[in-house]
Every structure is written in structure tokens, then in C-alpha cells.
Structure 1
Amino acid sequence: MRTLRMAALGAAVASALALSVPASSASSASSAAPSAGTASARHGAKPIAGTARPALAAANTLSLQTAGKTGVVSPAPKVYLVFWGSQWSKDPAKVSADMQAMFKGLHGASDTWGTILTQYCENAPKGTTKCPSTATFITHPSSSILAGVWTDNAAAAPSSATQAQIAAEAKKAAGHFGNTTQTPNLNAQYVILSATGTHPDGFPNSGFCAWHDFTSTTYGKLAYTNMPYIPDLGAGACTTFTDGRLLSGIESTETHEYAETVTDFWPTDGWYNASGGEIGDECQDQDAYLTLSTGTFDVQGLWSNKANACVTHG
């Protein structure tokens, strides 16, 4: 949902964690439980426990929340992967290679999932559900959207980073990549990936797989994602697949967050449904494997106004 309050997850999350968190990590995870001050909204949060889509198609329809010309969507998406902290010397699930391969391949004719996004736009009237021809549409990339990769390993990342620390790392990354004005940051999204054994924003006890947001900086507003090391939860977490593939959960989650960042770049200016959900929120019960030139990856279903349904291809 657009807003996720940790207390609202209740027993469902506790049950999911009991089933999915390995015994060896349970004690360290419990020590990372969020304080009362972290129960605020997290935009685009994908909950570990999962939720069902709304029953009525009319409630699912996404509409434009503002008539802004920039910062509403990301017309030409660029992804920057930031592997935060010296803890990335250990990567037992091979997340780094997997995330790079996924974004290197997510373009062109083989990417039939990304084409779902091209029906959405900015520079259109507030309340729009079908973009007019005069709007600025999200474009389908013809080449890799992976604009940069940085392993920031000069020091250890915080073991339980706060939202403010994650946002600060996004600013640090923008500086590292030379994106120091608003213009390049109108399409850049910074995915802050935390290493195995860490608990960014209270993960996993805070109940989410990941979330996205923006932060205001001297470089302009920056879109970023808090991406924990989901394989720490074991196979089957944060995905509907039950085939035991360990990387499916983080792929499903990152495609959820990527699509929501592209269609709601600076929350909450972009596309939402009547329940306050973004493009991925109502389709968390749907996953599919997508074969790209760089491998096969788990992509989460997205809501399509055009199809009036959750879909995994455009």
C-alpha cells in the first residue's frame, strides 16, 4: 500500500516471519525491531505477509494525483544499484550479480513486462485514468536501464539503518555518480541494497519486503528504494512461487518497487487507486518468470488500466 503502518500488520506478519526467518538469524532480527518512532508511512511498501487485491475492478483503476510536468513519473528510467557497506564481502545468494543481470536485460523486445508501464504518464490533468496524446508518457527502454553500480564498501553500513540513513546513502550515491543537479535526477532511481545479516529500517520485523520514497537534497529530489537482503528470509519469502528458488523473492520485490518508482516517482504525486495503492500493491498475489537476454527472473504482476486487470506482460 502507499502507506504501511507497522502495527497494522499484526499477527499475519508475525506468522509469516515465524515460517520464513531462519533460526540462525531469529535472535539478530528480533533485536532490530523498530521503535515506536519508525511506525510512520513507508511509500510503496511490499509487505512480507502479502495482501489480496481489492474485489472491485473500479477500485483498482489507477488515476493521476497531480498535473505536474516533472517528478510525477519517470519517463526514461535509469537505475543505479548501490551495494551498501563492507558487509557485501559476503553475498551467499549472489544478489549482486543477479540484480545487475536483471536490470541489464530489462529492455527491448524480450521485456514484455516493462511495456505495461508505457500507458502511464505525467503532464496530464489531475484525475486522469487514460493519458491524452499530449501527455509525457513513460517510454519503453531500447537499451539497458542500468546506469551505474557502486559497492560502497569503505566502511560498514549500519546494522539497523534508519530511514534517514538510507536516504543519506541515496544522496551519497547521487554524488558518486555525478548526478548533482535536479535534471539527471528526474529519471534516476537509487536502489540501496543492504547486505546479508543487516536490518534496514527494522527489516524483517517491521513487516515489509522493501519500500521506496524520495528525499529532498542539495542535488534536488532523489527517488530511492530501501532493499533489504531478502534471501535471508529463505526461499518463498516475498514471492508467490514455491519452487525453492532463493532469488525469486528479491526479484519480485525489486520489480514491484521499480515499477512503483517509475509510476509514482516522488510519492505521492503519481498514479494511485481509490484505496491508496500503487501499480504493484494490488497485484502482490501474482508472479511470473520473464526470460531476458541476461537470464530468467521473477517479475511481479502490475495493474493495467488498459487491461482492467493485473498482468505480467503489456
Structure 2
Amino acid sequence: MRTIRLAALTAAAAAAFTMSISTSSAAGMSHYGAKPIAPGAGSHAAPAAGADTLSLQTNGKTGVVSPTPKVYLVFWGSQWSKDPAKVAPDMQAMFKGLYGAKDTWGTILAQYCENAPKGSTTCPSTATFIKHPSASVLGGVWFDNGSAAPANATQAQIAAEAGKAAGHFGNKTQAPNLNAQYVVLSATGTHPDGFPNSGFCAWHDSTSSGYGKLAYTNLPYVPDLGAGACTTLTDGRMLSGIESTETHEYAETVTDFWPTDGWNNTANGEIGDECVNLDAYETLTTGKFDVQGLWSNKANACVTHG
């Protein structure tokens, strides 16, 4: 299943995006939670009960959600010697601050769980819930700059970089990788997996490695698209789009860790896919960041705080 929204794209971008999906499918590869470059303005109106409700796709005890998430940022390639929008310090600051009482956006995730019956739309008390972090979720930062990253990295190359990162950070067994997500950030001027002509801002997936199954994200250099791409905020701030994009992918990885075993809606996708037309700023101890709206079963709506 692919949780990709095409409705908000221009006709040309949608056609290109559809072509990219077909090509990936033909190659036997897939990705999930792809956020469209032009999500559209306005907020998501609350639908009739059940129309967008997320349900648990498996009754697995692990690999369904990420109960205690850790984010590992991988700045891939020597091209990171140039960072005109200051993405690297911004992403580090965002994840350093994404915890505790200041982070009311992240509390949305705490209603979801694993180790519950398949098809659940609420979690029983016996389930393993996602915990709202009491300390920074940033597990590590690596500038893998010994050589240049591919100018047009394939999905297989991005997945391989995630595996390399797991080794670098010492996560060499499956146990730590049940909560680790590897965010592979590409530098300005590079075009991972067809970005931006494929119509996505980023996507997440899982891959097999010598260290077990890994969750990872392909995060292109969104500011290359200019202010306003990948966000509904219109104040011209260059970093809003990549912050909105990465909060979308982070939340989807936490709630659908190894797609698509976790929380999903078969018609409308994952927790972030349903809410691409809603953004808000959240002020953390480390700064102000654009967070994308998430679907809340509890509220039966897209929300930006729990």
C-alpha cells in the first residue's frame, strides 16, 4: 500500500508523481507517507466519524510503532560543506527540543500503541503505548562527509546509507533498532529518488540490514524549492517546509514503524498523510518550528496539539 496524496499537486506534478510510483513498483520497491510538495492552504475540516479513522494493521508486539523513539540524523555526503538555508543546525535544534511539556504536538502520538488486536481504533490498557519523551529524542548526528553522496541517489542507495548509519551509531542488533529511525538528509543541489520531479517532499520506509530491520527516511534539501514549498504557512520562512516535512515523516515512522504494520487508513494513508493541509508553529526550548497537523482518532480531526 502507498500512502501518497496526489490531489493537492498540480496536474503536471501529479502526473510525474504517478509515473515515479509506477516505476518504483516495477522495480519491486515502495515507499510510504510521501508528502506532496504543494499541500494546499487551509485546515482539514473534521469529517464524519470513521471517515479518516486510523486502525491497527497487525497485532504484532514489536516493529508496529516506536514506543520510545530515537532519531539519528545523517547528513550524507561532502556536499554538506554548503548549507545555505542552515538546515543542519535547524534539524538538530528541532529534535533536541521535541520533548516534555513544551512539545504539545508530540503528545498527539501517545494515544497510539502496539501489542493490541488487529483492527483496533483505540488502545486497550494492556497495550504498549507510545510514550511522550521526557528528554530529547535526538539519538545522534553524523556528517558522513568522507566522499560525495550520489547526485541522484536511488532508494536502494538511501537504504544502504541508513544501514551504514546504524553501524556508525553502534546499533548493531535488532533491539536498539526497534525504536531508532535514521533520517538520511541530502545536501543542496542533490536529487534523491527523483526529487523534486517526483512530486514528493520526503518519504519513509523500512529496509533489511545486517543489524536487523531498520526504519529510515529520505529527506531531500527542501529549501531548494523555495519558501512555501511543503508547508501551508505563507510567511516566507525558508526552513518551514523542511520542518513540516520532517515532522510529518517522524510522526508516521513513530506510528507506522515498519510500513504498513502500524496505524493506517486504507483510503487516506498514515497519520500525517491525512493532514497535509494543516501547519502550525510550535515553540520549544530550542526555537520555533513548523509542525504539520496529525490525525487524532481521539479528536476525530486533524490537530496540531494533543
Tell me, in whole angstroms, the C-alpha distance in 2 between the residues paired with 1:5 and 1:110: 30
> Are residues 1:163 and 2:152 paired?
no
Tell me, in whole angstroms, the C-alpha distance in 2 between the residues paired with 1:214 and 1:16: 24
Tell me, in whole angstroms, the C-alpha distance in 2 between the residues paired with 1:210 and 1:113: 20
Partner of 2:23: 37
Q: CA deviation at 1:16?
A: 11
Q: How far does the alpha carbon of each residue in 1:95-145 deviate from its partner, in whole angstroms, 9 at most, with x for none?
A: 000000000000000000000000000000000001000000000000000
> Are residues 1:64 and 2:52 paired?
no
Match of 2:36 among 47, 55, 62: 47
Q: CA deviation at 1:4?
A: 3.7
Tell me, in whole angstroms, the C-alpha distance in 2 between the residues paired with 1:57 and 1:99: 36
Q: CA deviation at 1:306?
A: 0.5
Q: CA deviation at 1:48?
A: 1.2
CA RMSD of aligned residues (A): 2.4
> Are residues 1:287 and 2:276 paired?
no
TM-score (norm 2): 0.92
Pair 227,136 (structure 1): closer, same or farther in 2 beyond 3 Å: same
Tell me, in whole angstroms, the C-alpha distance in 2 between the residues paired with 1:84 and 1:122: 32
The runs of 5 or more residues in structure 2 that have no matched partner are none
> Are residues 1:2 and 2:6 paired?
no
Pair 34,206 (structure 1): closer, same or farther in 2 beyond 3 Å: same
Tell me, in whole angstroms, the C-alpha distance in 2 between the residues paired with 1:158 and 1:82: 14
The runs of 5 or more residues in structure 1 that have no matched partner are 18-32
Tell me, in whole angstroms, the C-alpha distance in 1 between the residues paired with 2:111 and 2:137: 18
The answer (yes or no) to whether the contact 2:74–2:185 under 8 Å persists in 1 is yes
Q: CA deviation at 1:53?
A: 5.8
Partner of 2:264: 272
The answer (yes or no) to whether the contact 2:16–2:198 under 8 Å persists in 1 is no
Partner of 1:188: 180
The answer (yes or no) to whether the contact 1:53–1:281 under 8 Å persists in 2 is no
Q: CA deviation at 1:249?
A: 0.1
Q: CA deviation at 1:56?
A: 3.9
Q: Spell out structure 1 runs of 4+ moving beyond 6 A.
A: 14-17
Matches within 5 A, 1:1-314: 2-4=2-4, 11=11, 13=13, 37-38=23-24, 41-50=30-39, 55-314=47-306
The answer (yes or no) to whether the contact 2:4–2:269 under 8 Å persists in 1 is no
Q: CA deviation at 1:13?
A: 2.0
Q: How far does the alpha carbon of each residue in 1:163-212 deviate from its partner, in whole angstroms, 9 at most, with x for none?
A: 00000000000000000100000000000000000000000001100000
The answer (yes or no) to whether the contact 2:204–2:217 under 8 Å persists in 1 is yes
Specify the code of the residue in structure 1 equivalent to 2:39: G
Percent identity (aligned): 78
The answer (yes or no) to whether the contact 2:228–2:236 under 8 Å persists in 1 is yes
SS state at 2:139 partner: strand
Which segment drifts farther, 53-62 or 141-150? 53-62
Tell me, in whole angstroms, the C-alpha distance in 2 between the residues paired with 1:103 and 1:296: 12
The answer (yes or no) to whether the contact 1:4–1:42 under 8 Å persists in 2 is no
Q: CA deviation at 1:38?
A: 3.1
Q: CA deviation at 1:59?
A: 1.7
Specify the code of the residue in structure 2 equivalent to 1:235: A
Q: CA deviation at 1:11?
A: 1.5
The answer (yes or no) to whether the contact 1:71–1:186 under 8 Å persists in 2 is yes
Tell me, in whole angstroms, the C-alpha distance in 2 between the residues paired with 1:15 and 1:100: 34
Pair 12,306 (structure 1): closer, same or farther in 2 beyond 3 Å: farther
Specify the code of the residue in structure 1 equivalent to 2:130: I
Specify the code of the residue in structure 2 equivalent to 1:60: D
The answer (yes or no) to whether the contact 1:272–1:279 under 8 Å persists in 2 is yes
Specify the code of the residue in structure 2 equivalent to 1:43: Y
